[in-house]
Amino acid sequence: MEIEQTALPGIGLKHEFTTQSGRRIAVVSHRTGRRDVVVYDRHDPDRACETVKLNDEEADALAELLGAPRIVQRLNDLHREVEGLVSVQLPIAEGSPYAGRPMGQARARTRTGASVVAVVRAGQVHASPSPDFGLMAGDVVVVVGSPESTAAVADILVRG
């Protein structure tokens, strides 16, 4: 799939591509933060027949909806490709020493070699959380690594 990028002087940027079924769609990123989702006419592929204007918040919500299931799918693809790599989902229990503390304090990667790739909170996926991401009881931490290292992370999250 090829994404074409065009500068719109004074307005912003446009990214467009053609879907497998032959529809042409684009996203216009206005400098003001506004995002337009543009669908092109079948008969006149130069013309935008539908333009949906999204503000910051709506654009984020749409990106989340389109992106979240993809992250899980990509993870599954990842350990199909690389042997010996597993991803595990570790719930943060009420009594976990890291509930209410920044994730970085667990130093999971330094101590075990496994990586925290996402935190799922209330059904929302927070991809690649930064070390200052505050963990909370009820979160599910997604960890990728060897079976031993991911088990070690599970141990850290329970016992500290």
Partner 1 sequence: MHTATIFIELGGIVLALGVLGALALRAGISPIPLYLLAGLAFGKGGILPLATSEDFVAVGAELGVVLLLLTLGLEYNADELVASLRGNARGGLVDLVLNAAPGAVVALLLGWGPVAAVAMAGVTYATSSGITAKVLSDLGWIGNRETPVVLSLLVFEDLTMAMYLPILTAILAGVSLAGGAVTVAIALGAVSVVLVAALRFGRFIEAFVASPNSEVLLLKVVGLALAVAGVAQQLQVSAAVGAFLVGIALSGELAHEARALLMPLRDLFAAVFFVFFGLQTDPGSILPMAGIAAALAVVSMVTKLATGAYAARRAGVARAGQARAGIALIPRGEFNIVIAGLAVAAGAHPDLGPLAAGYVLILAAFGPLAARLVQPLITLVARRA
Q: Write out the residues near partner 1 by the rule CB under 8 A.
A: 6-11, 14, 16, 26, 28, 31-32, 36, 38, 40-41, 43-48, 50-51
Minimum CB distance to partner 1 smaller for 42 or for 79: 42
Looking at beta carbons only, is 43 or 80 nearer to partner 1? 43
For 76-104, b/e burial (b = at least 16 CB within 10 A) is eeeeeeeeebbbbebebeeebebbeeebb
- In angstroms, what is the minimal distance from the CB of 38 to partner 1? 3
User: Nearer to partner 1 by C-beta: 44 or 57?
Assistant: 44
CB nearer to partner 1: pick between 26 and 90: 26
For residues 61 and 137, give the distance between their C-alpha atoms in angstroms, rounded to a whole number.
24
CB of 8 to partner 1, least distance (A): 6
Tell me how far, at minimum, the Cβ of 48 lies from partner 1, in Å.
4
**Least Cβ distance, residue 46 to partner 1 (angstroms):** 4
Whether the Cβ atoms of residue 139 and residue 121 lie closer than 8 Å to each other: yes
Q: Which residues, other chains included, contact 108 with Cβ-Cβ below 8 Å and sequence gap of 6+?
A: 114, 115, 116, 143, 153, 156
- Which residue in 125, 108, 26 sits closest to 69, CA to CA? 125
Q: How far is the CB of 2 from partner 1 (least distance, A)?
A: 15
> How many CB atoms are located within 10 Å of the residue 24 CB?
17
Q: Are 108 and 153 a contacting pair, CB within 8 Å? A: yes
